[in-house]
Amino acid sequence: MSEEKFEAWLKENADDYHRPPTNVPREEMWETIARARQAQRLSLIAERSPVASRRSHVSGRWSSIAGRWPMAVAATLLIGAGIGLGYWMRGPSAEQAPVVASLTSAADSAISSATYDVASVAHLTAVETMLTSFRGDQQTETQASLQRLARDLLATTRLLMDSPAAEDASRRQLLADLEYVLAQIVVLDPNAPAEDRAMVDRAIAREQVLTRIRSSIPAGFSRGN
């Protein structure tokens, strides 16, 4: 009897724990999901383009990047939309199979690798810019918009962590550290006391995040190449 009373009491009182709001933000979330899906389709179009398959024979890791600008644009579009590339080279769907089959596996692999490299570098460039702005601008309004950007970048970081882009150990560690820092910024209240912001700053400094990002970006890339 006592047990039953306790369970009833517990259910009644614990229901306030992380109680979800009555209104679920359905439309807002759907818009984000639809944008991500749209960007995914764009990336598939870029992947299928004749330019992409013609370029696949180009050798050299970074020398091929400039020649693959359509794919770089697609990758940047993805990042701009706040989603990552983890979705688009993870095994061909039935729909894309004929196109993929027309490429040799080596060429396919080269495109994939170079594309993830481009996407990673573009992403790191965006994170570097955001973190630099975050550290330099203390205004609440700016911080709020930077937080929104940090949220998108966090999503992309997580997807890149779950993609071939994270196969390189040092890049994987960098992405993991970025996830920590970005998550901290996302949960930071725009009106938080200076000490809370200082904690984020310390995390950025301690992990040498900006230095490591800059050393991961090939010269010239962040300046629009």
Partner 1 sequence: MSESQLVARAIEGDQAAQRALYDAHVDRVYRLAYRVAGDDDLARDFTQEAFIRAFDRLPTFRRESSFGTWLYTIAMSVSLNGIRSIKRLRTREVSIDAAESLGKRDRHADPDLKDRLKRAIEDLPPGYRTVFLMHDLEGYTHEEIGEVLGIQSGTSKAQLFRARARLREVLADFAGAWSA
Q: Which residue from 55, 158, 171, 197 is in contact with partner 1, where contact means CB under 8 A?
A: 158
Beta-carbon contacts of 113 under 8 Å, excluding residues fewer than 6 positions away, are: 61, 164
CB under 8 A: which stretch of 65-73, 121-129, 133-141, 147-155 binds partner 1? 147-155
Binding mask 99-128 for partner 1 (x = CB under 8 A): ------------------------------
Binding mask 74-93 for partner 1 (x = CB under 8 A): ---------x---x--x--x
Q: How far apart are CA 37 and CA 190, in angstroms?
A: 30
Q: Interior CA angle at 130 toward 210 and 217, to 5°? A: 45
DSSP letter for 22, please. S
Q: How far apart are CA 75 and CA 91, in angstroms?
A: 18
Q: How far apart are CA 39 and CA 84, in angstroms?
A: 9
Q: Given the complex with partner 1, which of 32 and 49 has the nearer CB atom?
A: 32
Q: Does 24 bind partner 1 (CB under 8 A)?
A: yes
Residue for token digits 């950007």? 149
**Where along the sequence are the contacts to partner 1 (CB under 8 A)?**
2, 5-11, 13-21, 24-26, 28-30, 32-34, 36-37, 40, 83, 87, 90, 93-95, 151, 154-155, 158, 179-180, 183-184, 186-187, 199, 203
